[in-house]
Amino acid sequence: MSDPVNLNKFRKAKAKAEKEQKAKENRAKFGRTKVQKQLDKSRADKLSKITEGHLLKDKSEDDG
């Protein structure tokens, strides 16, 4: 016969491994430095300024 297995320890070890895997995925997905966040924000601001400059006037302003 094989040795008996404590199911509580097995269950807790499995949950811990899943939790560590989830944390690893979240670090890869959401973990960014402050400089990276600022760079993304500045690029988005620059893009919005460029696109706002190319917008046509609204018809409601022309009618008034």
Q: Quick check: pTM over 0.85?
A: no
What is the rounded distance in angstroms from the CA atom of residue 10 to the CA atom of residue 8? Answer: 5
Structure confidence at residue 63 (pLDDT): 56
DSSP string spanning 25-62? Answer: HHHHHH---HHHHHHHHHHHHHHHHHHHHTPPPPHHHH
- What digits encode the pLDDT tens for the residues 1-47? 788 889 999 999 999 999 999 999 998 888 888 899 899 999 999 99
Domain range summary for the chain, segments of one domain joined by +? 8-55
